[in-house]
Structure 1
Amino acid sequence: MAEDSDVLTDLDNAAKAANGADTQPVAGIISQYVKDLSVENPKAPDSFQWTDQPEMDVQFNIQAKDVNEEVIEVELKITCTSKCQQGTAYIVDLAYCGLVGMRNMPDDQKHAFTYAEAPRFLFPFARAIIANAVRDAGFQPLVLDPVDFQGLYLQQLQAKQAQEAGEAPVGDAAN
């Protein structure tokens, strides 16, 4: 009869033999941080008296750069501009980043994780930072609507593939 320690050792060896080397794909957020935050309130205090409905412009940009072989810095850049007839009420410019670790993943899966999943993980934190920044500038908090990063990624991928194939993007009519 085997002792308890032998059973655990055998299980550990069996798991190593079945799995071999570290070959399972893995991806996740290692760390996240504000890289740059700018809040402009150019017409204060006059802008606090404006009564017309502001026109909002919200722009997103996702960039990535390799830190090392297994880590990528994903930057979610969000610029929010509020304009009224009298001028610009505020501009909030945020670069929110995450260090993403990925190992044993095919390039297409790395690309999808970098440009669709990582921004999805980062967005709720960036959204809260923007809401607080706008509130701290003296305005009602700006709560951004959820963003379908997976849908946007697939849409851009299809547009790129259509462009490479020499076709008009989906939804465009040829004249």
Structure 2
Amino acid sequence: MADENDVLTDLNQGEGAPNGADNLPSAGIISQYVKDLSVENPNAPSAFQWQDTPQLDVQFNIAANPVNEEVTEVELKITATAKGEKGEFYIVELAYAGLVGMRNIPEEQGHAFLFAEAPRLLFPFARRVVSDAVQDAGFPALTLDPIDFNGLYIQQLQAKRQQEAGGDMPTGNA
């Protein structure tokens, strides 16, 4: 029987599986949760009388924090701010997290899973939390557009490589 503290047992054949099956790569979401949620309606009740259409600003951030050797917490932070001519309608800040288990995954592939695939899996649930929070604040539900986390991940890697390549070049006058 598997160790009760081994959270990845269900992702594999279990300990001591025949023919080295316990050495197979495996990754998955163990659990997910709202880590922090803030909803501000700073100009209520007057904001409900404003006639202008709010300008929406949505920001995303992804962080990965190791919990132990096989488990990492991936945190998807979303900040949605709606502003009008007279001020802010609402501000929603969400930190939605998931525990990601990975075993026998090469480092480069693990990094891609943590910063591209895991956020893609968490996003639909975080999107619903944001939508409900905006609606619960008294405004029409906010439906965030889908995000290509894989494409963003590739862009970030390319930008980092270009920056590193540019940083290695000597600068100054000859």
* TM-score range relative to shorter protein: 0.7 to 0.9
**1:78-136 residue CA offsets vs partner (Å, 9 max, x unmatched):** 00000000000100000000000000000000100000000000000000000000000
Residue correspondence of structure 1 range 83-122 to structure 2 within 5 A: 83-122=83-122
Residue 20 (structure 1) shift: 1.9
Give, as a single letter, the amino acid of the residue that structure 2 aligns with 1:32.
Answer: Q
Percent identical residues:
70
Structure 1 or 2, whichever has the larger Rg, is 1
Q: How does 1:2-151 map to 2 (within 5 A)?
A: 16=18, 19-20=19-20, 22-151=22-151
Give per-residue Cα distances to partners, 1:17-64, cap 9 Å, x unaligned: xx3252111000000000000000000010011111111100000001
Structure 1 residue runs of 4 or more that deviate by more than 3 Å after TM superposition:
none
3-state DSSP of counterpart to 1:145: coil
TM-score, normalised on structure 2?
A: 0.85
Quick one: distance in 2 between partners of 1:159 and 1:94? 27
Counterpart Cα distance in 2 of 1:158 and 1:25:
26
Distance in structure 1 (CA, Å) of the matches to 2:21 and 2:146: 39
Q: Secondary structure at the match of 1:141?
A: coil
Instruction: Report the TM-score when normalising by structure 1.
Output: 0.84
Please give the per-residue CA displacement for 1:133-153, whole angstroms capped at 9, x wherever unaligned.
Answer: 000000000000000000000
RMSD: 1.1
Please give the secondary structure, in 2, of the residue aligned with 1:61: strand
Q: Which amino acid aligns with 2:102?
A: M
Between the two proteins, the alignment pairs up a number of residues equal to: 151
5+ long unaligned stretches in structure 1: 1-14, 168-175
Q: Distance in 1 between matches of 2:85 and 2:92?
A: 19
Matches of 2:125 and 2:147 in 1, distance apart?
13
